A and B are shown apart, each in its own frame.
Chain A
Amino acid sequence: MSFLEMLYFIIPSAILYATPLIFTAIGGVFSERSGVVNIGLEGLMIVGAFVGIFVNLEFASTLGSATIWVAMLAAIIVGGIFSLLHAVASISFRADQTVSGVAINLLGLAVSVFLVKLIYDKGQTDMISQPISRFSIPYLQDIPFFGPLLFRDVYSSSILAFAVAIGAWFIIYKTPFGLRLRAVGEHPMAADTMGVKVNKMRYIAVVISGALGGLGGAVYAQTITHDFSHATIAGQGFMALAAMIFGKWHPIGALGAALFFGLAQTLSIAGGQIPYVQDIPAVYLQILPYVLTILALAGFIGKASAPKASGQPYIKGKR
């Protein structure tokens, strides 16, 4: 394999694996920016993956190529609704946000597998007939070097992921809504004094994280696994959490980290076919994202600090 062939093989695959992480990690950015820790990203992704596959299987014959979009939309809606549990528990009922997130993860998996067994009478769904398909972007694909690398055989979901990342950056840093969101996460009392409704902002942020987490799960299932079982989203949600932290709670940072983690996943899965990489034991590539996140938090790779009020319920009138 020549170097160029290697790049043409690795880069599109890295983008493929990064796409679900981008959505979910940016969902995490919204939630944590508002001051609500969301360990439950994994559970949200699982629910999204299940909904995506369910809709795809049930409606593929009537909706045809529009199926994937309906499936993604359904995953967004159900993910948003599911995340309300986390919002109610951690915002209104003042539950420990980490514990509530753990419960979301357990519940997401249990409910999804329960429903699969209820609906299909077995632990694993059939393969979908309408996965998210690849296409080449006209004209752009003809650019030398970059064309085949970035614009040939791309997934529509990947383009959407980049759009979401840029959109999230704009919303969080360039709009009044984003300013309020960040204020609520840094210093809720000050925000409250200025008339920002702290709990409302947090509810919105958590639901956005649920919607994007659901979307991430649906995209993962419809591009990579093509079916749903208990092992479909094994750890992707936690990897998205890692990408969010590694990206320093910033949408573009999360995008970059997700792309890097996507590369690591590609190398650990397909590493056997790539020269030089095949000599590295897969385990090093598998643990890379997690070890890097720990190093980032320890301050070895630039200081990463969470929003100040992250993890604390806001209790009006309490100083």
Chain B
Amino acid sequence: MSNRVINILVPIISIIIGLIVGAIVMLVSGYDPIQGYIALWTGIFGDSYSIGNTIRQITPYLLAGLAVAFAFRTGLFNIGVEGQLILGWLAAAWVGYAFELPKIIHLPLALLAAAAAGAFWAFIAGFLKAKFKVHEVIATIMLNYTALYIANAVIKKLSDGSFKTERIHETASLRSPFLRELTDNSSLHYGIIVAIIMVVVMWFILEKTTRGYELKAVGLNQHAAEYSGMSVNKNIILAMTISGMFAGLGGAMEALGTFQNASIKAGFTGIGFDGIAVALLGANTPLGVVFGASLFGSLKYGALNMPNAAGIPEEIVSIIIALIIFFVASGYIIRVVLQKLKKKKEGQ
């Protein structure tokens, strides 16, 4: 087995173990795992309405996954996707209702605002890391909470004490009658196209530009990068900022596509944290993120069907997702087992 095969096998094995443990949990709790997984499956692929909503659910996961993966590739761990996404959500919603512009300007402007808000919030963490050696994991966790409370306070202010902003104008909306009709009135919107373009953008930046090469070099070996004349600090700040841009766009998907407004949140959306799982499963490559996001988006949306169709709490899927993260993170042990199997085969 080559390293490449093992790299693909680790996430696949993790997913399989996750699903098996999930089945065991259902069995022990007195539920029927087969019924459970059938309910999950039909929840995802049952009809064109489910498929439309599943794709809608995948959209923000794609962008959150790209954000985490981009930072990872440059040696940074952006746990702050959640906060960046919340601020992007708010910025998009605000531009969406506060301005009156033709669609061709309004929609790009709202997307741009979201990207800028996310980028700015991530920039703070990058700046702190570059200038003051503040570890980005801790800084972004703290910035998540700061973003959540600030966004809530701003929404309250903007809406004169209500819990959500005004609805965005049609000119800023990502909603599409065409996609809705195609999918039996699901809430599928054009955001998926934006997300896929961003997948290509990340691939292009990392693989086709000198700057992308530098960013990766800093991620692989800071000292070597520094020695060859690259500015590590500048690259850290830039990498965080680009990562935050993806996260902010993830928020725009919710503001301009799914919800058409921004509302006060009692807690986090969870999309940012699941983005970590998406990136890990996708081995931090753009194409991998597409697979990771598809899996997590499908599981999350399909899970909603489980309480009704099989009487199983939807949290079972969150348990499975958490376990998959555990197993992917513990890839070392899976590698060891695979290597042993390989040696045994060679010995025969």
Contacts and interface: CB of A to CB of B under 8 A. Distances in A.
A104 B323 CA distance: 9
Contacts of B142: 238, 242, 290-291, 293-294
Interface stretch (A70-78, A110-118, A189-197, A204-212): A110-118
Interface range on chain B: under 10, 10 to 19, 20 to 34, or 35 or more? Answer: 35 or more
Interface stretch (B52-60, B147-155, B215-223): B147-155
A37 B137 CA distance: 11
B145 A107 contact: no
B86 interface: no
A93 B276 CA distance: 19
Contacts, number: 127
Interface in B137-177: 137-139, 141-143, 145-146, 149-150, 152-153
Interface stretch (B102-110, B284-292, B324-332): B324-332
Interface stretch (B93-101, B236-244, B312-320): B312-320
Interface stretch (B41-49, B128-136, B249-257): B128-136
B243 to A, nearest CB: 16
Contacts of B319: 107, 110-111, 114
A113 B132 contact: no
A92 B325 CA distance: 16
A105 B273 CA distance: 10
A306 B266 contact: no
A270 interface: no
A245 interface: yes
B3 interface: no
A290 B146 contact: yes
The dominant DSSP class at the B interface is: helix
B293 interface: no
Contact of B273 (A106, A245, A282): A106
Contacts of A107: 319, 322-323, 326
Contacts of A106: 273, 318, 321-322, 325
Interface range on chain A: under 10, 10 to 19, 20 to 34, or 35 or more? Answer: 35 or more
Contacts of A99: 276, 280, 325, 328-329
Contacts of B128: 294, 297-298
Contacts of A110: 315-316, 318-319, 321-322
Contacts of B25: 114
A283 B150 contact: yes
B325 A102 contact: yes
Interface in B262-313: 266-267, 273, 276, 280, 313
Contacts of A13: none
Contacts of B146: 287, 290-291
Quick one: which of A113, A282, A290, A291 has the most chain B CB within 10 A?
A290
A287 B79 contact: no
B141 A102 contact: no
12 contacts: A39-B137, A89-B326, A95-B331, A96-B329, A98-B137, A99-B329, A103-B322, A105-B273, A117-B313, A287-B149, A291-B142, A297-B134
